[in-house]
Amino acid sequence: MLTVNRDDDRPIWQQLLDQAIHNITTGKWPPGELLLPSRELAQLIGVSRSTIQIVYEELFSRGYTITSRRGGTRVSDWTYATRPSLDTATHGPVLPDLPLLNDAIGHLHSWFGDRVHQEVEIDFSPHEPYIDEQFQQIWRRSFLQASVSTELDHWSYGNPYGFLPLREQIQRYLSLERGVHVNTDQIIITSGAQHSIDLIAQALLQDGATISVEDPGFPAAWMAMKNRRMQVVSVPVDEYGLCVDCIHPQSNLVFVTPSHQCAVGVIMSEPRRQQLLHMAAEHRFWVVEDDYDSEFRYRGDPLPTLFSQQPQNTLYMMSFSKMVAPGIRISAIVGPQEAIRQLAQVHELTYRHLPIMEQLTLAHFIEHGHFMRHMRRVRNIYRRRHEAMTKAIIATGLSEGFTLSGVETGLHMLLEADTSIDEETVTKSALEHGVRVYPLSRYCVESERKGWVLGFAKVDEAAIEEGIQRLARLLLS
C-alpha cells in the first residue's frame, strides 16, 4: 500500500510515485501485476483521483507500466536488474590509459613553475603580462557597455569563424600595426594558442604528420601536436633563430616564433627567414608563425611578419593573452582563405563557436581605442622593467659568467648557463630564497642547453633588482 507523509516537503504525487517506482524496481510489484484503478486507490489512500492519475501517467511515460482499456494498468513485462553490491556500485567504467596526456599535463605544470605548490615573493614568470586595476576598470566598462548594446541575435548560435565585428577590429589592427592585409574570412577566432594549434592539427594535417619545432621552444605547441599523434621532430636554435638546414625533409608543418624566439629570445635573421619561406614554398609545408609578444619591441618598430611575405604557406597566430590578459581566452589564426574555411568547419563540428560576451567586450575594447591606449601604457611599463632587468644582471656580474639573450623584444630574456651547471638545484635554491625562476630545460625537446627564462612583466623595478641580486648570490657564490 502506498502512504502519504504529511510532514514530507515533497508534493504528494511525488511521494507516491517514488514509492511505486521502488516497489516495481525491487520486484515487490512483479511484471504483469495489475494496479488498482485510480478511483479505488485514491479512496484507499485518502487523496484526490487526479493525484493518482498523475502518478499513473508518470509510471506509463517512464515505461514502468502498460495500460489497456480492458486490462487496466499493469507493471511492464521487464526484467529488472539485480541491484549491484556495494563494491561494484562505487566503481564506474575503467578509464583508458593516456600516457601522452599525463606526461603533457605534468610537463605543463612544471613549465608554469608549479605555482600552486608554493607562493614566492618574486616570480619572474615569462607567461603573464602586466594587469592592474586601471585595466580591470576599463575592461569592466567595456563589458557593461557591450552588454547594454547586445542584440538578441547575438545570443543565437554564432559564426564558427568568430564574431564578425571582432574580426573586423582585428583586421584593422593587423593592417595598421603589423602590415598584414587580409579579409575577415581569413581570420578565425580561437580560445588561446593551444586551441589554435589543436585546431590546425585537426583541420590541416593527417594522422602521423611530421611536425618540426624549435628546440628550445614553446612546449604547449609540441605537446598539443603529440597529443594529436603527430610525429614531432626538434630543430635546434642558435643566435640567428631556427636552424633551417636542420628541418626534417618530410615535414608537413614547421612551428616557429621568429620575432622573439620562445624561449631563447633571439630574433630570426632575415637570411634564415627567406630560407624558411623558400623551403616552405618548394616542399609545400605549412609555416605556423606564432607572433605572441612581438608588439613589445624596445629597439625600433615590430619586425615584418613571415605571413606578409608569403601568405599562401603561412598561418599567423596572434594572442590577446600577452597583449591584454590570459583570462579573456581569445586568440586568432590568420591564413589563406581555404585553410581558414577548413579550420572553421572543424571548429563548428567540435566547439560550434566561442562564448559571445568575451568577443563582444574585446570588440568594444578595441573599437573605442581602449586597446591601443592600454598597449601604449604597458609598453612604457615594460620598457622600464626591461631596463631594470638588464641593468641588474649587468650590475651583479651575472652577464659576465652567463650569456644574456633576448633583450630587444618581448616580455622575457634568457640567462644561459654552461651545460655542466646543476640547473635544477639552482632553481630549487632560488625558490627557497623566495625567487621563482624558469629553467630552460623545461622548454627543450632534446636540447641539453641550460639556463633560466626570466620574465619581467609582472615584477616591479624594486623587486627585479632584489630578485636578481638573490639569484646572483646563488650563482656566483
Q: How many CA atoms lie within 13 A of 332 on its CB side?
A: 25
What pLDDT, in 10s, does the model give residues 281-338? Answer: 999 999 999 998 877 887 777 788 999 999 999 999 999 988 999 888 999 999 999 9
The class that CATH gives domain 99-130+373-476 is alpha beta
Q: Length of the chain in residues, anyone? A: 477
Round the average pLDDT of the chain to a whole number and report it.
Answer: 89
What mean pLDDT is predicted for residues 262-285? 94
State pLDDT tens for residues 401-460.
899 988 888 899 999 999 999 999 999 999 999 999 999 999 999 999 999 999 999 999
Q: What is the pLDDT of residue 175?
A: 93
CATH fold group of domain 12-75? Arc Repressor Mutant, subunit A (1.10.10)
Q: How many CB atoms lie within 10 A of CB 61?
A: 9
**What's the pLDDT at 69?**
76
Give the tens place of pLDDT for each residue, 120-145.
899 999 988 999 999 999 999 999 99
* Domain residue extents for the chain: 12-75, 99-130+373-476, 152-368
Give the CATH number of domain 152-368; options: 3.40.50.150, 3.30.70.330, 3.40.640.10, 1.10.3720.10.
3.40.640.10
**Does residue 88 register a pLDDT over 60?**
no
- What is the distance between the alpha carbons of residues 417 and 431, in angstroms, rounded to a whole number? 18
Q: Report the 10 Å Cβ neighbour count for 378.
A: 22
- Give the confidence band of 79 by pLDDT, cuts at 50, 70, 90: low
30 or 108: which leads in pLDDT: 30
pLDDT given at position 410: 86
Encode 121-135: b = buried (16+ Cβ within 10 Å), e = exposed: ebbbbbbbbbbeeeb
Instruction: Tell me the sheet residues that pair with 334.
Output: 187, 316
Residue 119 scores a pLDDT above 90: no
CA dist 4 and 13 (Å) reads 9
